[in-house]
Structure 1
Amino acid sequence: MEYLVDMRTTVPEGTTDDEVADMRRREAVRAAELVEQGNLLRLWRPPLAPGEWRTWGLFRADDADQLETVLASMPLRAWRTEDVTPLTPHPSDPGQPPR
């Protein structure tokens, strides 16, 4: 099953630039692992307000429990809130294989 995840990150007050850079580095490493595992399919940057840190991600998981495990494994989860939308195929989706 595929899921669209709207991820909004808020860096805690008092966090140093070095700590932010380290968190971003660790998140990038974990994202690459999730790509290799087939759980992370795409990432987008939606239109952002000044100072906003937000990402949309397309994830694949067997079910909501597996998705939660995947999202919980990402370092930025400590600073992030998420809205998850389960996606089901549309019968007219041009990306679906012919039947």
Structure 2
Amino acid sequence: MREFLVEITTTIPDGTSQDEVGRRRAAEAVRAKELAATGNLARLWRPVGELRSIGIWRAADEVELHEKVLGTLPLHPWMTTITVTALESHPNDPGRVDGPA
């Protein structure tokens, strides 16, 4: 699997009830746990004071990432910006599992 840095901004549509927001957020938490269990979601952060997320996601390629991973998130219809950057290992990465280049 390849790794991707993904930044997501989610905007709740005007007029959406708090009940609907709560249902989708709860479903999002369940789906995130499922994706973590399959190895598709490695890490996830939220910048302090912001309603966006930054994460390390895994998929075979960018098409799979969008269609079979991010597209399955309950909040996906409300995601107004999704920025994807494909990543590769840096030779000086201290967390590299295959050792230095």
State if a TM-score over 0.5 links the two structures. Answer: yes
Where does 1:50-65 land on structure 2 (aligned, <5 Å)? 52-65=50-63
Offset at residue 66 of structure 1 (A) = 1.1
Offset at residue 32 of structure 1 (A) = 0.7
Equivalent residue pairs, number: 96
Unpaired runs of 5+ in structure 2? Answer: none
Offset at residue 47 of structure 1 (A) = 3.3
SS for the counterpart of 1:90 is coil
Cα root mean square deviation, aligned: 1.1
Identity %: 50
**Counterpart position of 2:4:** 3
CA–CA separation in structure 2 for the residues paired with 1:64 and 1:20:
28
CA–CA separation in structure 2 for the residues paired with 1:29 and 1:59:
16
**Counterpart position of 2:96:** 96
**Counterpart position of 2:70:** 71
- 1:2 aligned partner, one-letter code: E
Unpaired runs of 5+ in structure 1? Answer: none
Deviation track 1:11-63 (CA, whole Å, cap 9, x = no partner) reads 00001111110010010111111011110001001133xxx411111101111
Offset at residue 65 of structure 1 (A) = 1.2
Where does 1:3-82 land on structure 2 (aligned, <5 Å)? 3-48=4-49, 52-69=50-67, 70-80=69-79, 81-82=81-82
CA–CA separation in structure 2 for the residues paired with 1:63 and 1:75:
21
**Counterpart position of 1:83:** 83
- 1:33 aligned partner, one-letter code: E
